[in-house]
Structure formats: C-alpha cells, structure tokens
C-alpha cells in the first residue's frame, strides 16, 4: 500500500505518469508497504497467463523470492530515479523516504535494487543520472544504496507512520536484525511467455 498522502499525476511526455506527494513526507516515513491486496503470482501462474499479460507484468510487476508481485494500488506507478527519494533493501517488504519529499514532488525508487536481467534506459533528469539502469548496478552502487536506506530507517520512530500497521513488525525486524550484506535482494527473471 502506498502512503495515503500521494496521488497519480502526469509528470511529462518522456516519463508519463508518476506518483506525487500531496503533503510533505518527511525522511524516515514508510512510503510503501506490501499488503494483502498485492497480488503474488508463482512462476507457473505467470506462465499460464500467457503472452497477453507479459508486457503489463514486465512493466508493472517485480520479482521477489516468493513470486511476481503486482501492486494493487498506485505503487506500481512509482518511477525509477538515479537519486531515488524512497528505498527498500535486503528484501524489506516496505520502502522508506531517504530524504524529505515536498508537496508536488514525485516519489521515486531505485530500480537497480530489483535485480534486473536487462538494461533499462533512464530519463530521470538527475544530475547524477546513469543514463540506464544495468543488471550489474548493484555491484557498483549497493554500498551507497544501503547507507541511504539505513539513514532513512534511522528516523522511522521520529515521524508519523500511517503505514505502521502494515510494516511496523518488518521495520523492527530489519532494525534489530543482523546487519545484512549489501547487494541485490532478488534476482529478477524475465516474465515467461507462452
């Protein structure tokens, strides 16, 4: 479930739609939490859907250890940005704001954490834009990603958390658990086509 102070909006002709903040979202806020309405499909279920669904799933879903996850809400419209303001690492079923997000600002993710198998062009417009998200980006960037994630997570108890009922237990496990090793938390596989 996406943070309630967000809405879908037109970003521009290159990016299309994205999710923007309707109120300020402070650093440390849980911005997304996996919930019971998110659809998780096993590889066999994905294969049985056939090619008609392949492009949609490839664009709007991501692989986790237990299958292909398709968010039921606006979460599937959160775009990549090379200086993402929201991060999830280590298999955490939630994302946290890694910096303050202003009203009207787009919520963005780092798609490099999803274990891509193919290079994806990037048009984020950041001064730090890599031009593309590559399957081997975690080898170069995961230490920085982990640092940003931990920094945002360090503030989680000091800000209002509308999604705490969904993510609180997972947040506490991540905070109190052993220090995870940097690196991608899932290896994405291509959507199977019939």
Question: Each residue of 45-75: pLDDT tens digit?
Answer: 988 998 889 888 888 888 777 788 888 999 9
pLDDT score recorded for residue 180: 53
Question: Which pLDDT band holds residue 16 (cuts at 50, 70, 90)?
Answer: very high
* Mean predicted lDDT score pLDDT of the chain: 88
Give the pairing of strands 94-97 and 108-109: unpaired
Nearest CA-CA partner of 6 in 152, 156, 106, 109: 106
Q: How far apart are CA 146 and CA 142, in angstroms?
A: 6
Q: Whose structure tokens read 């996406």?
A: 2
Q: In this model, does residue 169 exceed pLDDT 70?
A: yes
> What domains lie within the chain, and their CATH numbers?
6-37+72-176 (2.170.270)
Q: In this model, does residue 194 exceed pLDDT 60?
A: no
Q: In this model, does residue 183 exceed pLDDT 60?
A: no
Give me the mean pLDDT over the 125-133 stretch. Answer: 93
Question: Which pLDDT band holds residue 145 (cuts at 50, 70, 90)?
Answer: very high
Residues 77-93 as b/e (b if ≥16 CB within 10 A, e otherwise) read bbbbbbebbbbbbbebb
């Amino acid at each position: 479930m996406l943070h309630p102070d967000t809405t879908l909006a037109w970003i521009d002709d290159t990016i299309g739609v994205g999710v923007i903040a309707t109120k300020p979202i402070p650093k440390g806020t849980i911005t997304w939490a996996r919930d019971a309405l998110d659809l998780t499909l096993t590889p066999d279920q994905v294969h049985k859907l056939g090619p008609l669904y392949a492009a949609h799933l490839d664009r709007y879903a991501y692989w986790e250890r237990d299958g292909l996850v398709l968010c039921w809400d606006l979460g599937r419209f959160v775009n990549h940005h090379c200086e993402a303001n929201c991060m999830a690492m280590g298999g955490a079923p939630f994302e946290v704001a890694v910096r303050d997000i202003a009203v009207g600002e787009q919520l963005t993710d780092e798609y490099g954490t999803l274990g891509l198998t193919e290079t994806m062009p990037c048009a984020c417009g950041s001064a730090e834009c890599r031009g593309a998200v590559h399957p081997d980006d975690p080898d170069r960037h995961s230490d920085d990603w982990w640092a940003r994630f931990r920094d945002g997570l360090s503030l989680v108890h000091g800000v209002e958390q509308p999604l705490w009922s969904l993510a609180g237990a997972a947040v506490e496990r991540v905070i109190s658990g052993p220090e995870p090793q940097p690196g991608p938390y899932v290896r994405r596989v291509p959507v199977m086509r019939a």
